Amino acid sequence: MNLAHNAKHLLLVSAISLALAGCAAKPSMPEGAADVRGKLTRLQADPQLNTRAPVALKAAEDAVTVAEQPRKDQDAEQALGQHLVVMADRKVEIATALAQTRFYEDQRKILSQQREGARLDSRTREADQAQRQNSQLQQQIDELNAKQTERGLVMTLGDLLFATGRSELRAGTANNLGKLAIFLGQHPERQVLIEGHTDNVGSEEMNLSLSQRRADLVMHYLTNQGVSPSRLGASGKGESMPVAGNESASGRQMNRRVEIIISHDMASQR
């Protein structure tokens, strides 16, 4: 009798243990899946984005649905679940980014159409004004015979503007430098670096001194024309920066020059 009772008791305990074990092993949704679903739901509810990337949005929906599937409390199952959550999150991010990109593209198209349909609006007037200013600036640059370089606008004064071996300006120089002074007066934001250069005839020390005096002379001329000294700098380079060979007379003449570099930032020229 006791044996039968004990057997029934053991069977009951075993059944309860199996039931409890079954409850403990009940599959559950992977961690983070609910957050990814929330991100997707917000994207689907955004009227500006939810119709702009339908293929990517469908792929994200499918990935989230798979990631939400409950997983058993086993290492392999949990690892798979986390991997699927990460992949689903990436697909939601891709769909969001693609939808945003297309939204901004559409906005630019709309703005462009508005500009085309309203040429007199403020933005168009600003663009027209900027174009006129650029045209005027280019005309002034052409009159100065200046060239656009990485350093800024470079205006070259040839050796003919100076007496041979001297730093005095020849008569008629005012035409070129006068245009420059007018240009600088119209563009007060620009800074100027004046560089004197020579050929290799004579000593290096003499050429360095001559190039400095010529650069200083041009700076003083511009100052007398009303250009603020704080905008000007002068530097003698001597024979160190030739633009042609010194073997011929024509090459030496090209090397004897003053270069005026017109820039927005004086510090970048030093």
Give the domain ranges of the chain: 2-116, 132-269
Closest by CA to 180, choosing from 258, 253, 269, is 258
The residues near 262 (Cβ < 8 Å, ≥ 6 apart) are 146, 152, 153, 154, 155, 183, 184, 190, 191, 192
Categorize the per-residue pLDDT at 268 as very low, low, confident or very high, splitting at 50, 70 and 90.
Answer: very low
Query: What are the phi and psi torsion angles at 234 (to 5°)?
Result: -130, 135
Q: What's the average model confidence in pLDDT over 99-124?
A: 83
Q: What is the percent of the chain where pLDDT is above 70?
A: 81
H or E segment to which residue 35 belongs: helix 33-45
Least confident of 15-19, 143-147, 260-264: 15-19
Ordered strands of the 152-158 beta sheet? 147-149, 152-158, 257-263, 191-197, 232-236
CA distance 86 to 96: 15
Residue 270, pLDDT above cutoff 50 = no
pLDDT of residue 102: 93
pLDDT of residue 146: 81
CA distance 257 to 167: 11
> What count of other Cβ atoms lies within 10 Å of the Cβ of residue 161?
20
Q: What's the average model confidence in pLDDT over 8-22?
A: 55
CA angle 84, 89, 92 (to 5 degrees): 125
Categorize the per-residue pLDDT at 133 as very low, low, confident or very high, splitting at 50, 70 and 90.
Answer: confident
The better pLDDT of the pair 270, 99 is held by 99
Q: What's the average model confidence in pLDDT over 238-256?
A: 91
Residue 4, pLDDT above cutoff 60 = no
pLDDT of residue 172: 62
Residue 269, pLDDT above cutoff 60 = no
pLDDT of residue 7: 56
- Specify the residue for token string 């020059």: 257
For residues 236 and 259, is the Cβ–Cβ distance under 8 A? no
- Mean pLDDT score across all residues of the chain: 83
Q: What is the percent of the chain where pLDDT is above 90?
A: 46
- Specify the residue for token string 């044996």: 3
In tens, the pLDDT along 52-108 reads 999 999 999 999 999 899 988 777 888 888 899 999 999 999 999 999 999 999 999
Q: What's the average model confidence in pLDDT over 227-238?
A: 95
Least confident of 38-52, 132-146, 251-265: 132-146
Q: Could you tell me which CATH number the domain at 132-269 has?
A: 3.30.1330.60
